[in-house]
Amino acid sequence: MYYSPFTGPFTDAPLGSNAAPLTPDIDDTLDLGTPAKRYKSASVVTLDSTDITFTQMSSPPANPSTGYSTFYLDNTGRPNVVDSVGSPVPLALQSDLKSSVMNTGTATTNHLASFSSGTGQAIEDSGILKTNVVQTSGATMTGNLNLGDNSLANVGILNLQGQPSGIPVPSSGTVNIGYNSGNNILTWKYGTGDYPLVYGPQVGGFPAPVVGNLTSFQYADGTKIQDSLIASANVVQNTGTSSTSNLASFSSASGKAIQDSLIATANVVQNTGTSTTGHLASFSSASGKAIQDATILSTDVMLKTGATMSGTLDMNNNSINNVSVLYMPASVTIGDNPMAGGYNCVTIGRSADTSTSGGSSVCIGDSAQSSGSGDVAIGLGAVSSDAQAIALGFNAVANGSHAVMIGTGNNGQDNTVMFGPNIINIRPDQNGICDLGTNSLLFQNVYAYGIVGTTTSGNASAGNVGEYVESVVLVGSAISLTSGVRSNVTSVTLQPGDWEIGGDVTALWVGITGKSLIAQISPTSATFDSTANESTISGAVNTFEQFGCLVPMRRVSISTATTYYLVVSSIFSSTATAWGDLRARRVR
**Cα(387)–Cα(415) distance, integer angstroms:** 11
Q: Do residues 564 and 584 make contact, with C-beta atoms less than 8 angstroms apart? A: yes
Nearest Cα to Cα of residue 283 among 291, 275, 271: 291
Amino acid letter, 576: A
Q: How confident is the model at residue 472 (pLDDT cuts 50, 70, 90)?
A: very high
**Does 374 score more than 90 pLDDT?**
no
By mean pLDDT, which of 256-265, 268-277, 335-344, 474-483 is the weakest?
A: 335-344
Pairwise pLDDT comparison (317 vs 196), residue with the higher score: 317
Averaging pLDDT over each range in 201-210, 505-514, 569-578, which range is the top one? Answer: 569-578
pTM: 0.31
For 156-203, the pLDDT digits (tens) are 676 666 666 666 777 676 776 766 666 666 666 666 666 666 555 554
Amino acid letter, 181: S
**Does 4 score more than 50 pLDDT?**
no
Instruction: Report the relative pairing of strands 13-15 and 18-20 from DSSP bridges.
Output: antiparallel
By mean pLDDT, which of 121-125, 358-362, 541-545 is the weakest?
A: 541-545
What is the structure's pLDDT at 479? 96
Would you give the DSSP letter of residue 207?
Answer: S
**Does 403 score more than 50 pLDDT?**
yes
DSSP per residue over 521-584, as a string?
Answer: EESSTT---TTS--EEEEE--EEEEEEEEEEEEEEEEESS-EEEEEEEEEE-SSEEEEEEEEEE
Q: What is the mean pLDDT of residues 216-221?
A: 73
Q: How confident is the model at residue 38 (pLDDT cuts 50, 70, 90)?
A: very low
Nearest Cα to Cα of residue 131 among 122, 147, 142: 142
Q: Do residues 296 and 302 make contact, with C-beta atoms less than 8 angstroms apart? A: no
For 516-536, the pLDDT digits (tens) are 889 999 999 999 999 888 887
Nearest Cα to Cα of residue 471 among 502, 500, 506, 495: 502
**Cα(456)–Cα(206) distance, integer angstroms:** 100
What is the structure's pLDDT at 495? 96
Domains of the chain: 1-94 (no CATH), 177-230 (no CATH), 332-425 (no CATH), 468-586 (2.60.120.760)
SS3 of 367, please? coil
Q: Do residues 291 and 282 make contact, with C-beta atoms less than 8 angstroms apart? A: yes
Q: What is the mean pLDDT of residues 11-25?
A: 44
**Does 466 score more than 80 pLDDT?**
yes
By mean pLDDT, which of 2-16, 39-53, 238-252, 563-577 is the weakest?
A: 2-16
Here the contacts of 249-256 (C-beta below 8 Å, separation 24 or greater) are none
CA distances from 434 to 51, 76, 389, 402, 439 (A): 122, 104, 19, 15, 12
Averaging pLDDT over each range in 65-69, 325-329, 374-378, which range is the top one? Answer: 65-69
Residues 6+ away with beta carbon under 8 Å from 523? 529, 556, 562, 563, 564, 565
Q: How confident is the model at residue 553 (pLDDT cuts 50, 70, 90)?
A: very high
**Mean pLDDT of all residues in the chain?**
75
Amino acid letter, 155: V
Pairwise pLDDT comparison (43 vs 387), residue with the higher score: 387
Q: How confident is the model at residue 385 (pLDDT cuts 50, 70, 90)?
A: confident
Q: Find the distance separating the first CA and the last CA of the chain, reported in whole Å.
A: 110
Nearest Cα to Cα of residue 575 among 549, 546, 551, 550: 546
What is the structure's pLDDT at 587? 92
